[in-house]
Amino acid sequence: MNVHESAQLRTWLLGQGYKQAQSAETADIIVFNTCKIRDTAERKILTHIAQAKKHKKPHQQIIVTGCLTDHEYKKPSESIAVPASITISYGCENFCAYCIVPYVRGREFHRPKHEIIAEFNAIPRTGTVWLLGQNVNSHPDFVELLDTLSSRKGDFKLNFMSSHPKDFTMELIDCIARNEKIERNIHLPLQSGCDKILTAMNRGYTVADYTAKIARLRELVPGICITTDIICGFPGETEDDFAQTVAVMKQLQFDAAFIFPYSRRSGTAADAMPDQIDTVTKKRRTTELVNLQREISRGKLTK
The pLDDT mean for the chain works out to 86
Q: CATH: 2.30.29.30, 3.30.750.210, 3.40.190.290, 3.40.50.1370. Which one for 83-183?
A: 3.30.750.210
Q: Assign 66 a pLDDT band (cuts: 50, 70, 90).
A: low
Over the stretch 36-55, which tens digit does the pLDDT of each residue have?
556 566 667 777 777 777 67
Note whether 83-183 and 187-298 share their fold.
Answer: yes
Q: Assign 149 a pLDDT band (cuts: 50, 70, 90).
A: very high
Least confident interval from 48-62, 96-110, 175-189: 48-62
- Work out whether the CA dihedral 291, 6, 69, 123 comes out positive or negative: negative
DSSP H or E stretch at residue 303: none
Q: Which residues of 4-18 are buried (b: 16+ CB within 10 A; e: fewer)?
A: bbeebbeebbeeeee
Distance CA 254, CA 237 (A): 22
Quick check: 79 pLDDT over 60? no
Distance CA 107, CA 90 (A): 8
H helix count then E strand count, the chain: 10, 10
Q: Give the list of residues 6+ apart from residue 290 with CB closer than 8 angstroms, or none.
A: 259
Calculate ∠ Cα 161-105-79, nearest 5°. Answer: 85
Average pLDDT over residues 130-140: 93
Average pLDDT over residues 15-28: 77
Distance CA 214, CA 40 (A): 31
- Alpha helix positions (H), 18-96: 39-54
Is 39 in contact with 264 (CB distance < 8 Å)?
yes
Average pLDDT over residues 205-212: 98
Instruction: Please state the domain extents for the chain.
Output: 10-70, 83-183, 187-298
Q: Assign 275 a pLDDT band (cuts: 50, 70, 90).
A: very high
Quick check: 172 pLDDT over 90? yes
Average pLDDT over residues 139-161: 94
Q: What is the pTM of this model?
A: 0.75
Q: What is the CA radius of gyration of the chain?
A: 20
Is the domain 187-298 a CATH 1.10.260.40 member?
no
